[in-house]
Amino acid sequence: MQTTTADTPVPATRYGVLERLLRIVWIGPAIAALVIYIFFVIVGGASGFFSVPGTAGWLNTAAELGIIALPIGLLMIAGEFDLSTGSVVGAAAIIVALGTGFYGLPIELTMSMALAMGVAVGCFNAFLVNATRLPSFIVTLASNFILAGTSLGLSRLISGSSNVSLKDAGWAEPIFGSKWMFFNVSVLWYLVAIVLAAWVLKQTRFGNWIFATGGNVDAARRAGVPVARVKLILFIWTAVSAAFVGIMSAVMYNQGNAAQGQGYVFQTAIAAVIGGVLLQGGFGSVIGIVLGTFIYGIVSLGLFYTGWPTDWLATFIGGLLVIAVLTNNFVRELALNRGKKKP
């Protein structure tokens, strides 16, 4: 092997099929999803994992998770975290339940309030991150706690309970609460979110800026990318998506709970990482994130169908996370080092 001579014209290297497959950004999560799916079809198929209700079960889970995980993933590609989504889900649910269920306000008003709360939280997070340059990990962790306490306190103060029922959500009922066979309408909403995220990330200027912001902030800034605005929009997107899921769950389950939603805080980040998003930013794909949410849904529902104690779910997910991070690192190096000749 000789040393790299960079300025000789390099003919486009021909890659074998296997090598080319390995260079697809989301190949890791795709293989993982397939393997895990087949595993649970074999082990849990007899008890109905492969049936329509079984499929609907994991898809429903993936959908509610994914609507938040998508913008979380984009935010991570831009190099930031958002741990405040859990409280935003709870706060949105309790706003709708209290407003419409308790006070009898029109559903469109309380929904707008919940979404506005999402915008406010997103702005707050982005403002703190942009202005103080503190790590978003800490900033959003703080806002998660602040908001969680506030929702719980206000809910108790107003209704005497952290759990408020919402009997009739009017026109919002079919939009957020309907089912087809066993599939929740949230699956459709997820589809909309996927198309939106894929379009933004792959096709628009803004998508390019997301990658640049996470890949090298200084370079992005010098090239004229409005880095602060990129982060602001992504923080708002994340929080509004979380509010949307909160509204949806309040309407679907006819109740809002101020303490609900905390599971999303880590589940969304896990789904994004399993989906191949680079924790340090600059790398990831929408298809990968979607596959990450599928994997999460398949594992959490699949375990249930195996008849094994579901107590072990977290262990399973944790193990998966480690494997995912390791394989993703490997795949990513391959994808990024295309064109580089081995020294």
Partner 1 sequence: MGNAAAAPVLEARNIARHFGAVTALADASLQLYPREVVGLVGDNGAGKSTLLKILSGIVAPSAGEIVIDGRPVVLKRAQDAMDAGIETVYQDLALVDTMSAYQNVYLGREELSANPLKRFFNLVDDRRMRERAREVLDALQVKIPSINVSVKGMSGGQRQCLAIARALLWGRRIVILDEPTAALGVRETGQVLEVIRDLRKHDVSVIIVSHNMQQLMSVADRITVMRLGRSIATRTVKDTEVNEIVGLITGAIPGDSPEARAAEVAA
Which residues are near partner 1 by CB under 8 A? 4-10, 12-13, 199, 203-206, 208-209, 211-212, 214-216, 218-220, 222-225, 278, 282-283, 335-340
The residue (of 124 and 209) whose beta carbon lies closer to partner 1 is 209
State the minimum distance, in angstroms, from the CB of residue 97 to partner 1. Answer: 36
Beta strands 163-165 and 179-180 are unpaired
Cβ(281)–Cβ(76) below 8 Å: yes
> In the complex with partner 1, which residue's Cβ is closer, 21 or 35?
21
Q: Are 130 and 231 in contact (CB under 8 A)?
A: yes
Give least dist CB 170 to partner 1, A: 32
255's enclosing H/E stretch is: strand 255-257
Residue type, 16: G
Q: Closer to partner 1 by CB, 13 or 315: give it.
A: 13
Closer by beta carbon to partner 1, 165 or else 216: 216
Report, in Å, the least distance between residue 9 CB and partner 1: 5
Q: Could you tell me the smallest distance in angstroms from the CB atom of residue 342 to partner 1?
A: 10
| Nearest-approach distance from CB 19 to partner 1, in angstroms | 14
Which of 125/213 has CB closer to partner 1? Answer: 213
**If you write DSSP's letter for every residue of 29-78 in order, what string do you get?**
HHHHHHHHHHHHHHHHTTTTTTSHHHHHHHHHHHHHHHHHHHHHHHHHHT
| DSSP notation for 255-285 | EEETTTTTHHHHHHHHHHHHTT--TTSS---
Backbone angles phi and psi of 304, in degrees to 5: -60, -40
Return the bridge partners of 163, or none: 257
Residue indicated by tokens 């529902």: 301
Q: Which is nearer to partner 1, 167 or 205 (CB)?
A: 205
* Cα gap 40→198, rounded to integer Å: 29
Q: Smaller CB distance to partner 1: residue 180 or 199? A: 199
Cβ closest to partner 1, residue 11 vs residue 104:
11
Decide if 123 contacts 143 (C-beta within 8 A): no
206: burial class by Cβ within 10 Å (0-12, 13-18, 19+)? middle
Q: Cβ of residue 129: shortest distance to partner 1, in angstroms? A: 20
The least CB distance from residue 208 to partner 1, in Å, is: 5
- Sign of the Cα pseudo-torsion (57, 60, 62, 65, in order): negative
**Which residues, other chains included, contact 31 with Cβ-Cβ below 8 Å and sequence gap of 6+?**
none
Quote the CA–CA distance of 76 and 70 in Å, as a whole number: 10
Q: Closest approach of Cβ 194 to partner 1, in Å? A: 16
Give the single-character DSSP code of 183: E
Helix axes 227-253 and 107-132, enclosed angle (nearest 10)? 150
Q: Name the residue nearer to partner 1 (CB basis): 212 or 298.
A: 212
Minimum gap (Å) between residue 231 Cβ and partner 1: 16
